[in-house]
Chains A and B, each alone.
Chain A
Amino acid sequence: MAVQSIFVITDKADALAELCYGARKLADQVTAVVFGDRPAAEKAAACGAQTIFYGPVESCRPEDYCKAIAEEVRKVPSALVLLNNSIRCRCIAGTLGAYLNTAVMTCVNEISPEGGRIVCKRTVYGGSAVRSQVFTGAYGVVTAGNGIFGDIDTVFPAADSIAEIPGKPECAVRLVARNEKKGGGANLAAAKRIVDVGRGLAAQEDLDMCRQLASLLGAELGCSRPVAENNKWMPIANYIGLTGVTVKPDLLFSMGVSGQVQHIAGINKSKVIVAVNKDKSAPIFKNADFGLVGDIYKVIPELIKKLS
Chain B
Amino acid sequence: MKIITCCKIVPDEQEIQVLPGKELDLTKASWKISQYDLNAIEAAKKLSAEIPSTLTALSIGNSNALEGSKIRKDILSRGPDELSLVIDDTHHFSDSLETAGAIATALKNSDGFDLVLCGTGSGDLYSQEVGVQIGALLGIPTVNNVTNIKVKGNALEVERTLEDEIEILEVSIPAVLSVSSDINVPSVPAMKEIMRAGKKPVHILDIALTDAASSVEQLSQLVPEQQERRMEIIEGDNEEAVESLYQFLRKEIL
Contact = CB atoms under 8 A, between A and B. Distances in A.
A and B held together in a complex: yes
Interface of A: 61, 66, 86-88, 90-91, 93-95, 97-99, 101-107, 119, 123-137, 140, 172-181, 184, 193, 217, 229-230, 232, 236-237, 242-243, 250-251, 260-262, 268-269, 272-274, 276, 278, 280, 283, 285-295, 298-299, 302-303, 306-307
B234 A292 contact: yes
A269 B221 contact: no
B185 A174 contact: no
Given A124-B126, A133-B219, A291 B232 contact: yes
Contacts of A217: 249, 253
B145 A101 contact: no
A269 B227 contact: yes
A122 to B, nearest CB: 9
Given A94-B129, A103-B97, A129 B162 contact: no
Interface in B240-254: 241-246, 248-249, 252-253
Interface string B112-130: 0000000001011111111
B215 A137 contact: yes
Contact of A126 (B98, B123, B161): B123
A136 B216 contact: yes
Contact of B215 (A99, A136, A173, A287): A136
Given A94-B136, A217-B253, A292-B233, 17 more contacts: A66-B136, A90-B132, A94-B100, A94-B144, A95-B136, A98-B97, A101-B97, A128-B13, A135-B217, A173-B141, A173-B171, A181-B163, A229-B181, A229-B182, A290-B232, A292-B235, A293-B233
Given A106-B129, A289-B232, A302-B239, A173 B136 contact: no
B245 A172 contact: no
Given A124-B125, A131-B220, A94 B96 contact: yes
The 3 closest A-B pairs by CB, nearest first: A294-B237, A94-B132, A98-B136
Interface in B188-204: none
A178 B166 contact: yes
B171 A132 contact: no
Contacts of A129: 24, 221-224
B24 to A, nearest CB: 5
A95 B246 contact: no
Interface of B: 11, 13-14, 16, 18, 24, 95-98, 100, 121, 123-133, 135-137, 140-145, 157, 160-171, 181-182, 185, 213-224, 226-227, 229-237, 239, 241-246, 248-249, 252-253
Nearest to A95: B136
Given A91-B144, A293-B233, A299-B242, A274 B217 contact: no
Contacts of B137: 98
A133 B253 contact: no
A36 B236 CA distance: 58
Contacts of B129: 90, 93-94, 97, 103-104, 106
A104 B230 contact: no
A288 B233 contact: yes
Nearest to A177: B168
A274 B14 contact: no
A186 B5 CA distance: 36
Contacts of B131: 94
Nearest to A101: B215
Contacts of A250: 253
Contacts of A107: 126
